[in-house]
Amino acid sequence: MEIGYYPGCALHGSSNDYETSARACLGALDVQLKEIDDWICCGATAAHSLNRKLAVALPARNLALAERQGMQEVLAPCPMCSMELLKARHELAGDAALRREISSIVELEVRGETRVSNLIQILQGVGLDPIQAAVRNKLADIQAACYYGCLLTRPPGIVKFDDPEQPRSMEAVVEALGAKAADWNYRTECCGAGMTMASERTVLELSHKILTNAAAHGANCIVTVCPMCHVNLDMKQADIERRYGVKHGMAVYYLSDLVGLALGIPRERLGIDRHFVTAGA
């Protein structure tokens, strides 16, 4: 099947390894991604703190483009992007006057009809049984701490995805691959997100707690679907180790990495060779 694709700034920039992984993984499952033509930044992370109409208009333009290009469903792999798109869709659905005003601002009719999905939902659409049937390399040595971060399931009234405090959808995918999912405490805690530049100490402290808790519960890797979380836990891991005098050595994978490995896709085709910590799989 073919679905729409909104990469957002991260997947075309600092986290292009995630795009490599997602395209390879989904392609192997016969899911083709059609990128929204002429997409723009969704406004994360600053627009909402500056101007409400701007915060709605930026993601709304992307929704309007997807609608105009005939896309009934769009994958937005970044949880910040998917949340912004869903928030705009939610606000527009409940306010006809705002919908008309935003349509005028972006110079496109915005109906808010295109569904916005994250990577886990796309995999759910493929189906756990077909994924399990396609597995060539069972990941029996993997004990993964599934890390949702603070955005993927929140705000629950808008994203309407899984349990906001105790989600289990990622664990179901991981277990279908033959791997084990750790039962741990920090699956929805914040890693510091976009505070890397503004307050690196905050990011190092929060990410250290996440890495420590994952290891304490028997995990040998962390799996996420968020590019910001991946940067903080993977790229910043050496800084965390220096600051706290520890050696985590905890591999951090995108969920699409583990699916791809289980399907027999080489690590370099998934972009895993571009990660900073890659022990474990």
Q: Quick one: 54 and 156 in the same domain? A: no
Provide the pLDDT confidence category of residue 279 given band limits of 50, 70 and 90.
Answer: low
Is 267 a member of any domain? yes
For residues 206 and 196, give the distance between their C-alpha atoms in angstroms, rounded to a whole number: 11
DSSP state of 57: H
Number of structural domains the chain divides into: 2
Q: Quick one: 108 and 172 in the same domain? A: no
**Structure confidence at residue 45 (pLDDT):** 74
Greatest Cα-to-Cα distance within the chain, rounded to the nearest angstrom:
56
Q: What is the pTM of this model?
A: 0.96
H or E segment and range at residue 23: helix 16-28
Q: Print the domain residue range for 92.
A: 2-119
Provide the pLDDT confidence category of residue 50 given band limits of 50, 70 and 90.
Answer: confident
Amino acid identity, position 4: G
Is 33 a member of any domain? yes
Q: Quick one: 42 and 102 in the same domain? A: yes
What digits encode the pLDDT tens for the residues 104-146? 999 999 999 999 999 999 999 999 999 999 999 999 999 999 9
Instruction: List phi, psi (to 5°) of 243.
Output: -65, -40
Query: How far apart, in Å, are the Cα atoms of 204 and each of 16, 237, 246?
Result: 23, 8, 12
Q: Quick one: 100 and 156 in the same domain? A: no
Of 119, 147, 165, the residue at which a domain comes to its end is: 119
Is 90 exceeded by the pLDDT of residue 275? Answer: yes
Q: Quick one: 46 and 175 in the same domain? A: no
Of 119, 145, 178, the residue at which a domain comes to its end is: 119
CA atoms in the 13 A half-sphere facing the CB of 135: 20
Is 127 a member of any domain? no
Determine contact, residues 201/230, Cβ cutoff 8 Å: no
For residues 69 and 198, give the distance between their C-alpha atoms in angstroms, rounded to a whole number: 38
Q: Quick one: 209 and 111 in the same domain? A: no
Q: What CATH number should be reported for the domain holding residue 147?
A: 3.40.50.11810
Beta-bridge partners for 252: 222
Q: Quick one: 80 and 170 in the same domain? A: no
Q: Quick one: 143 and 115 in the same domain? A: no
